[in-house]
Amino acid sequence: MKFSSTLGALGASSILLSGAGAIELDITSPASIKQAAKSLSTNLRSYYTGDRPGDTPGNLPDPYYWWECGAMFNAFIDYWYYTGDDQYNKITAQAMEHQIGDYNAFMPPNQTKTLGNDDQAFWGMAAMSAAENKLPDLGNGKPSWLSLAQAVFNTQKDRWDNQTCGGGLKWQIFTFNNGYNYKNTISNGCFFNIAARLYKYLGNDTYSNWAERAWEWELAVGLMSEDYHYYDGTDDKKNCTDVNHIQWTYNAGVHMAGAAAMWNVTQNDLWRGRLKGVIDAAGIFFNDNVMIEVACENNGKCDVDQRSFKAYLSRWMGYTAIVAPWTREFIDPLLKASAQAAAKQCNAGANQTSCGLRWVDNGKNDGSFGVGEQMAAMEVVQSLLYTTASGPATAQKGGISVSNPEAGNNVPNTPITFNSITTGDKAGASILTLLVLVAILVGAWWMVS
């Protein structure tokens, strides 16, 4: 916490600054970046109610899905890592502990009806960040951060599906959910990302083999093009011959970070070339170096999920710049211009720290607001601090989270079917109906007699 005194001093002056409107950001000053990130974080935190008595830790109110809450806690872990300000660590640990769920693999039964591999993985990646950034394990017999990431990896490798398309992960975990027949890039990309980072942390070839397999498969079916563009997904009922070609920032980002981790360990030309390719292809998401969600910002159709995607490209660009330092000359101008543009329009709301979606309108706030908008601005601003970060820990170098390579192994593939529950419920319900009917009839009998 060596910056806390600086933060304290700046905290006082920020009250005056906030009156002037907008987030003050001097990108050449770490103290200014920290203060800006802090103001953005206060606003982001105001959306979270899960720590209130009677509410559920790890859930955001409607309309935010469960996965985005995992993504948000990853953002708070990054916030602490970059700034040293630990004020959100307590709600983060509480939320992540509460959502550990079945098999200690972030599969909470409450989420079964919408639980995709990508949703599970966003919590798994938060746990991976906790391990890399040395957030102390929960202790008390609870699974370690690292083992939670390993459990997500192990459950997902067992879902690798050779039945169609020559492999790949389906979007959904359970057969009864919409999207079960879609093999999408973010699910496979998250799996790649976790495998690559586990490889960097632990050095075990099992992880790199799976990372390589996921990468090759995405290329083979065309979810990734030869020139490193990432498309949304493909229908496995058509054996993945039809690809939906819409491109999202987070797909570029999730692969960029994984490729950076692979390069960091191997330092070979194969991964260097791939990583450079992903960075170059991500150019489509920048207008004059300012990040834009091209698929939906210009037509005004970004949904609640999509409003948060720039957060993850920003996050993973910061990670990439740390673990593959030769990428800085390409990434740095993009992060700087984007952070400046993002901060400039964070001037709405009561405290004038609320951010809109669009960063490319030269400081004009577009009037939208929410967890996604706020998290994206916070992540891009705090990522500027990558030059001051010590870098993700590994088992050999500073890591404190406990490994459990068996975590999440031998989990039944479709662990929950609603059939037995439904039958029970129906039986219960019809017995109840019968009792009510009898009561009415008895009542009626008394009335007529």
Ligand X SMILES: *[C@@H]1O[C@H](CO)[C@@H](O)[C@H](O)[C@H]1NC(C)=O
User: How many chain residues interact with ligand X (CB under 6 A)?
Assistant: 29
Which residue's CB is nearer to ligand X, number 110 or number 298? 110
Q: Does residue 110 touch ligand X according to CB under 6 A?
A: yes
Q: With respect to ligand X, which residue has the nearer C-beta, 129 or 264?
A: 264
Q: Does 108 bind ligand X (CB under 6 A)?
A: yes
Q: Which of residues 78 and 293 has its CB atom nearest to ligand X in the complex?
A: 78
Q: Considering the complex, what minimum distance in angstroms separates the CB of residue 445 from ligand X?
A: 40
Signed CA dihedral, 127, 318, 133, 51: sign only: negative
Q: What is the dihedral of CA 246, 248, 253, 256, to 10 degrees?
A: 20
Q: Of 78-86, 243-251, 346-354, 355-363, which part binds ligand X (CB under 6 A)? A: 346-354
Q: In this chain, which of 323, 348, 375, 381 binds ligand X, going by CB under 6 A?
A: 323
Binding to ligand X by residue 163, rule CB under 6 A? no
User: C-beta of 153: minimal distance to ligand X in Å?
Assistant: 9
Cβ closer to ligand X: 257 or 282?
257
Q: How far is the CB of 25 from ligand X (least distance, A)?
A: 17
325 touches ligand X by CB under 6 A: yes
Q: Does 267 bind ligand X (CB under 6 A)?
A: yes
* C-alpha 256: how far from chain center: 14
Distance of alpha carbon 32 from its chain centroid, rounded?
26
Residues 164-203 that bind ligand X (CB under 6 A): 165-167
Q: How far is the CB of 290 from ligand X (least distance, A)?
A: 24
For ligand X, the closer CB: 91 or 294: 91
Question: Applying CB under 6 A, does 264 fall inside the site for ligand X?
Answer: yes
By CB under 6 A, tell whether 98 contacts ligand X. Answer: yes
Toward ligand X, which CB reaches closer, 160 or 180?
Answer: 160
CA 30 to chain centre: 25
Among residues 32, 35, 41, 43, the one that binds ligand X under rule CB under 6 A: 43
**Out of 391, 395, 399, 404, the residue judged to bind ligand X by CB under 6 A:** 391
CB of 235 to ligand X, least distance (A): 12
Is 424 near ligand X (CB under 6 A)?
no
- Out of 168, 277, 392, 408, name the contact with ligand X by CB under 6 A: 392
Query: Should residue 239 be labelled a site residue for ligand X when binding is judged by CB under 6 A?
Result: yes
Task: Pick from 35, 41, 99, 314 the residue near ligand X by CB under 6 A.
Answer: 99
Closest residue to ligand X using C-beta atoms? 391
Which residues here bind ligand X, judged by CB under 6 A? 42-43, 46, 56, 58, 98-99, 108, 110, 160, 162, 165-167, 204, 206, 220-221, 239, 264, 267, 323, 325, 349, 351, 353, 391-392, 405
